[in-house]
Amino acid sequence: MASGETNAGNTQRGNTLPNGDIYVGNFAGLVPHGFGKYMWTDGTLYYGEWDTSKMSGRGAIQWPSGASYDGDLCGGFIDGTGSFKGVDGSVYKGSWRMNRKHGMGTMVYANDDTYEGLWNEGLPDGFGKYTWVDGNIYIGLWKSGKMNGRGVMQWTNGDTLDCNWLNGLAHGKGFCKYASGACYIGTWDRGLKDGHGMFYQPGSKMPCNLEVSECVTDHDVSSSSSSGNENINSSLLFLFQKLCNTWRLHSIFHWPRRISNGTTPVFDDNSGNNLSQDSSTVPLTTDNCVQDSGVDKVLVYEREYVQGVLISENPKCHDSGMLDSGKTQEHTWQMQTGGPMETIYKGHRSYYLMLNLQLGIRYTVGKITPVPLREVRSNDFGPRARIRMYFPTEGSQYTPPHCSVNFFWKDYCPMVFRNLREMFHIDAADYMMSICGDDSLKELSSPGKSGSIFYLSQDERFVIKTLRKTELKILLKMLPKYYNHVRAYDNTLITKFFGVHRITLKGGRKVRFVVMGNMFCTELRIHRKYDLKGSTQGRSTKKQNINENTTLKDLDLSYVFHVDKPWRDALFRYHLTVCSWSPSLSSIIACSWGSILELPIT
């Protein structure tokens, strides 16, 4: 063992610790401090700066497996910026936090694929660019290591897909521009074309300009130019700005002005994400539509897909409504995503009512959630089981100040609905963030026949419906049987109730609400909707009024469903159970085939 004095006054010596580890370097008293080398008994070696026995500052780590790190450390963790070389030969250069890739960074994988972008807790998360070894490129948003959000995929053959993505698959509205010039604008469902769309053959002229995001062709900005963290940030910021500008100026509801020649490609991004293609590059019909000039012949087709299978195709002429078809497509997408609705803004007729509702739900859910979960009792049901609170604008001992109007709040059967939310696997924090977060609610512009008004959370997971006093009494009366049914059948398809509330405004006006799950919030595209009430009186829809967004009725259901006899018997038992709750149940619940086909899981 050797020792001496450094220029800084710290003792420099080498020690073999009681556990067999070896440290050679500077000390502050009895602990490593300054610069030194530490070797663990398993062969791991650290060479760098220390701060009172913790690896902090710049340093290098070498593991016996062959992996190595060179960069910043803090408090004994890899934290800051640095370069990591894995056992498999992969190399990461960028930001770290607590031993995980976090922030901006570039990863060159063992198979020579490259990712350049944002990371979160060790996985690509945020905006980034992924380049496969064969040249395919994706630029867009990521979540937990998968393509998730808006993004553009470009294949080496020149085909480009600008679309929403979900878990690595195209999912949502988008448009595909083929290398040959053909273009398809429509919707995708988990990697497959699904729903209505417009297919433009090469040479077709479009009403508005729509170009695929230009950043997918900017191959000059690559990870090779990112020698440091500053270069990484500047290159990704450049790509991000170009992509955002393109999306803002060329909305997906605009249409391409001109497309050149092309055939339908076979999509393969080399990561297992195969996208559906058109079933044929030859149109199903040979009728040509002639433009006003009488020179060019163009063909535009309105197509419908079901899970990647082309089921219908109709030609559209430029002079007979191609522009109108574009407007119809836009309207169809808007209706598919949620129907006619508007976001509640300041000055809206429902603005203060929304603020009161959000504040009341936040208060009661926050109050009941910390209470230990217990089985409900008989006194937890009924109109007397409630939480009642006054919310003055200036705040009180129990309520915070707020920017709405004074109101009284009543929450019915809080323990019952708290348990129901648990049974339906609704996290209390997610529930409050969805309804009471920074985003406003959305109001359906046309109320139902009952006169009730519907509100949707911004993520459309929850529906809030106004109730009449008689409807509230019916719901509270049937609540015990409803609770027992949900507890008996874990996977019940019945309409989910999450809370019943009442707001009393100045002057005595009372507004009652029920919060329900939105059955239309699903990753699947809904091809047809039926409102089934078990009646034939007026339960049909005029044929001329039927389109993709029409809610059909009982007599429109022209299908025969074949089910096993035990399921059939269970279906009829369930129907009788629902009817026994209340004959007025349909005034509260908008029934669907999903809620009627209630089968117990055995």
Residue 92's CATH number: 2.60.450.20
Residue type, 505: L
DSSP characters for 125-174?
EEEEEEE-TTS-EEEEEEETTEEEEEEEEE-TTS-EEEEEEETTEEEEEE
pTM: 0.50
> Which of 475, 496, 521 is at the close of a domain?
521
Fill in the DSSP letter of residue 224: G
* pLDDT of 94: 93
Indicate if 463 and 575 belong to the same structural domain: no
> Is 70 exceeded by the pLDDT of residue 362?
yes
Rounded CA-CA distance 166/164 in Å is 7
What does the radius of gyration of the chain's CA atoms come to, in whole angstroms?
31
Give me the number of domains the chain comprises.
3
The answer to whether residue 258 is domain-embedded is no
Task: Give the mean pLDDT of 44-52.
Answer: 88
Indicate if 383 and 513 belong to the same structural domain: yes
Indicate if 384 and 500 belong to the same structural domain: yes
Indicate if 180 and 142 belong to the same structural domain: yes
The answer to whether residue 443 is domain-embedded is yes
Span 268-306, pLDDT tens digits: 333 333 333 343 333 333 333 333 434 345 478 888 887
Written in H, E and C, the secondary structure of 80-111 is EEEEEECCCCCEEEEEEECCEEEEEEEEECCC
Task: Give the mean pLDDT of 363-372.
Answer: 86
Query: Tokens 């990561």 identify what position?
Result: 271
Span 69-96, pLDDT tens digits: 999 998 889 999 999 999 999 999 999 9
The answer to whether residue 215 is domain-embedded is no
Instruction: Please report, rounded to a whole number, the percentage of residues in the chain having pLDDT higher than 90.
Output: 27
| CATH number for the domain that contains residue 467 | 3.30.800.10
Indicate if 113 and 129 belong to the same structural domain: yes
* pLDDT of 349: 86
Indicate if 534 and 422 belong to the same structural domain: no
DSSP characters for 564-588?
-HHHHHHHHHHHHHHHHH-TTGGGT
| 537 pLDDT tier (thresholds 50, 70, 90) | confident
Indicate if 540 and 502 belong to the same structural domain: no
Which residues are paired to 391 by β-bridges?
407
Span 125-166, pLDDT tens digits: 989 999 999 999 999 999 888 998 889 999 998 899 998 888
Q: Taking the CB of residue 393, how many other CB atoms lie within 10 A of it? A: 12
- Between residues 129 and 576, which one has the greater pLDDT? 129
> Is 50 exceeded by the pLDDT of residue 7?
no
- Between residues 319 and 49, which one has the greater pLDDT? 49
* Closest residue by Cα to residue 457 from 378, 534, 516, 370: 516
Span 18-37, pLDDT tens digits: 778 888 888 887 778 888 88
The answer to whether residue 171 is domain-embedded is yes
The answer to whether residue 239 is domain-embedded is no
The answer to whether residue 218 is domain-embedded is no
> Which of 203, 225, 241 is at the close of a domain?
203
> Is 60 exceeded by the pLDDT of residue 374?
yes
Angle, alpha carbons 396-402-405 (nearest 5°): 95
Domain that holds residue 550: 526-601
Indicate if 503 and 549 belong to the same structural domain: no
Q: Compute the Cα dihedral for 47, 52, 54, 55 and give only its sign.
A: negative
Indicate if 37 and 172 belong to the same structural domain: yes
Indicate if 400 and 431 belong to the same structural domain: yes
> Which of 488, 521, 554 is at the close of a domain?
521
Indicate if 401 and 357 belong to the same structural domain: yes
Indicate if 460 and 355 belong to the same structural domain: yes
* pLDDT of 198: 86
The answer to whether residue 434 is domain-embedded is yes
The answer to whether residue 323 is domain-embedded is no
